[in-house]
Amino acid sequence: MNKKIQLQDLGTKDYKSTWEYQEELFKGIVDLKIQNRREETNLPTPNYLLFVEHPHVYTLGKSGDFENLLLSEKQLEAKGATFYKINRGGDITYHGPGQIVGYPILDLENFFTDIHKYLRFLEEAIILTLAEYGIESGRSDGETGVWLGVGTPFARKICAMGVRASRWVTMHGFALNVNADLGYFDNIIPCGIRGKAVTTLNVELGVEKVDEAEVKAKILKHFTNLFEVEFQV
């Protein structure tokens, strides 16, 4: 079992090229697992965590409803945004500047073979990170991700999640709104859920800007403890 994770901070990177890079890393792990099985070898499989910030983009999961995008192609162009239908779970979401996106590409056989537990651990890493800022967050029944004000009329989502897994290898991941422009969420029905708002860390704290590098460091600390891993840069 390889419990080391290679950390890569990609900075600002186009969604499509990042998706292709994820697919490349994902395929490398899957191919090695197939080789191990075929040749009865036990070569260790690598794990990765990519941090990235995307230019304005909307993505729709494989089971999502296109009607949840409220913009035409021309309106997308006018807003400087792109759109992709992709192969993760979940419905529609937005990525853009001021948002920390994390893509764990892990061989879960190095950790535990339980997708439900994996998603709960991702959520917990964000919940514990927000707690360090004095923000109480949690889960909403039947709605993956991290929420504030669950069970109240003011429920609002601060972190969206959507993953794909095959042969216990994961890709895609989470998107935490830190300093994101909430106006871009007005152009979709986020995650296909009507009547619930979206928020950001800086809005909740009542500050102009939160240090994103600091937030990443806190996420890594909790990820390390939950998954019992060692990060390598």
H-helix segments, the chain: 15-39, 73-78, 115-131, 201-205, 212-227
pLDDT in tens, 124-178: 999 999 999 999 999 988 888 999 999 888 899 999 998 999 999 999 999 999 9
Question: Is the CB of residue 158 less than 8 Å from the CB of residue 140?
Answer: no
- What is the CATH code of the structural domain delimited by 4-231? 3.30.930.10
* Angstrom distance (rounded) from CA 87 to CA 227: 25
Mean predicted lDDT score pLDDT of the chain = 92
Reference 86, options 23, 149, 32; nearest CA is 23
Length of the chain (residues)? 233
- Rounded to the nearest 5 percent, the helix, strand and coil shares of the chain are 35, 30, 35
Q: What pLDDT, on a 0 to 100 scale, did the predictor assign at position 191?
A: 53
Q: What pLDDT, on a 0 to 100 scale, did the predictor assign at position 156?
A: 93
Reference 11, options 201, 178, 213; nearest CA is 213
pLDDT in tens, 172-221: 999 999 999 998 888 877 555 555 689 999 999 999 999 999 999 999 99
Query: Based on the number of CB atoms within 10 Å of its own CB, is 169 exposed (0-12), middle (13-18) or buried (19 or more)?
Result: buried
List the catalytic residues: 191
Q: What pLDDT, on a 0 to 100 scale, did the predictor assign at position 26?
A: 98
- Higher confidence at residue 59 or residue 231? 231
Could you tell me the pTM of the whole model? 0.93
Task: List, in sequence order, every residue forming a beta bridge with 95; answer none if it has no partner.
Answer: 57
The mean pLDDT value for 35-47 works out to 96
Does position 123 have pLDDT exceeding 70, yes or no? Answer: yes
Q: What pLDDT, on a 0 to 100 scale, did the predictor assign at position 47?
A: 98
Annotation: binding site for substrate: 88-95, 160-162, 173-175
Does position 121 have pLDDT exceeding 60, yes or no? Answer: yes
- The answer to which of 23-37, 112-126, 180-194 has the lowest mean pLDDT is 180-194
C-alpha Rg value of the chain to the nearest Å = 18
Residues 6+ apart with CB under 8 A from 55: 12, 14, 15, 80, 81, 82, 96, 97
* Angstrom distance (rounded) from CA 134 to CA 225: 20
Domain boundaries, the chain: 4-231
